[in-house]
Structure 1
Amino acid sequence: MTLAEACRILDISPKADMEQIKKQYRKLMLQFHPDVSGSSEVGYEYSVQEINLAYAVLKKGFAELESISFSEKEMSFQDNLLHWNAPTNSHAWKERDILHYAEDCEGNILGNFTIARGKYLWTAEEDFSLFLLSLYRCSQEVLDEIDASLQREEPPSLRQRIQPQLTYLLAQQFMDGTALLKELSKKVSHKKEEGGVYYLPAMLEITRSFANLKNGESLFPSRLKGHRLYLKNCAGQELGYLSFPDDRFYYIVIPLFEQRKVLVKIKAVQKPVTSGKRKTSRYQRLHLWLRFSGKAEKQLPESLNLQIRQLLEIYRQ
């Protein structure tokens, strides 16, 4: 859908500002959304789905979208998807949906809908919670196809263990950890011989009661297990595992450790983690510095199809 088409659907001027766009969108939703008006879009030539899509285009300000022609009849949405403005990984196991929130006339979220489908990498323009939902649905599609091919009446109990692992592997295919670390963290060193050092806040999720860290105390990687990086102190005592206040970094940083692409420096921060107005002893604030090892900084996202294939073979048994 072009910006001009979006303006036509919302019946606004191409020169309208965001406040005018939002006001017109809410006006149309108040008039024609069946959950609000009780009607079924009677009296307007475009569907609620088209109105939502037009609002999404204008709200995000997409500059490079493929043209979509809408039929005068009810739109078949799966046949009229957008071209999402993001890099792709042609080696990804399967295409995924790009989701967008649908809102009512008051701006309340009604649900979500698909605006594009493809092997698109995640970028900051895509809501991260919807990205995770798209990965879950993608893994669900893969396993449903296997169940159907094997004519299973019900999914096996093994699915509860396989699907989270599959979702995690798919996340790595759709996230360029190297590029995202550079984009979302703070670069604190520009020395060529170091390849750049990147800083981000982190947390220690404490699993041992004797964890009593001093400000500036160093921590070290202990082991990787279950997609968690466990940390130890200088005495070799394992205290807990690495966590992040920003969930996005879990899917960026942990795979970089698993692929042995980064070196790390970790120091404790004395300031406690708070939950509301109360202190919590479960988490310890950390300073985390990362540096790419060797030529890892220039490597492309790793193809994980072999691991996915092996995982699915287990599910087929």
Structure 2
Amino acid sequence: MKNLLLKILLLTTFTYFLQACSNGDNNQPNPSPLPGSKVQVAKIEEIIDGEDQVLKNLLNKVRGSVGKRGPGSKTIWSRKNDYDLGLYISANHVISINSWLSKNAEYFDITSEDMGIFETSKIPPVNGQVELENLWVADFPLMHFDISTSVTNSTILPAEDFYIGIVDNQRVEPGSLPQWPKPVDTGTPLKMYDPDNRTKAGQTWNTPNVGENAIALGYPQDVTNFPNGAVSYGKILSDEEAAVKITELQAAGDIEGDIPYNPHVEFFLDAQGVAGMSGGGVFNLEGQLLGIMVRASDAEKAPKIIRVVKVTYIKSKMLGYYNGLSQTGQEKLRPFISGEL
């Protein structure tokens, strides 16, 4: 019964067109090409076909890690686990907080509970083509952490707006009816586009360095202007600069100005977010994952910022939860997160 209930709840994401990462409308103007860091948002294919070889190389290193999940995005953190499967992070408001059976932290024993879903889950093709793979890939929610009982998809704060899942190698062609994968396939390593083995590196993630540039990647809901995903590029702000941005956002009447900045949880990227990029990854210039996008400013005259939940915070929550489990619980969870413990 638990399996069936969760599947029904997961499938409700079909009906959501959530405000993912940006609270504004989707009628964005056609973006200009992205010459270095001059323009803050661009189509993926514009960079791949452009002349900035450094940016192109960086994008190729990371873009296979970011896929779609419902109306938003998800980012494969690493494949460093016992099965070489994709350990991914996405935002709770992307999957919808109502998908969870409980607001209390929980994990799913995906080796015995068939918690997977195909619908709305895609990753880039193994051959590196720009277009998203035409097949749905199996998606298994693995764990989420405590969520306040009163929050909604639009009011959830960055400190609670993330969960962790697994992508395995099961794929199907899109169909008119829901299709459920078999229990997670631990016998076949995930095949994905990862030409530099970023997801198997000694350290797949890092802490953000103030003043450095970072690249943000996700899949906007505006598929007319961004049919194959979007790239945003900007500077990592200091805590002092983020505080100034909050004041400016308040003055501009942007909702992000009403949300306190939490330096333990997040950092601000001085860049533009587009609805649907939530759950997408933010990477440093070495291609290491710094965090996932969860919110962005939207008011017309407001400064452009993206709120990014730090991988360091996500990892601390994962470790705290894991260490609090019984030995049996740890044994069930460990094989999927072993490389990031």
Give the structure-2-normalised TM-score.
0.23
User: Quick check: which one's helix share is greater?
Assistant: 1
State the structure with bigger RCO (CA 8 A, min sep 6), 1 or 2.
2
Rg larger in structure: 1
Q: Compute the TM-score of the two structures, normalised by the length of structure 1.
A: 0.24
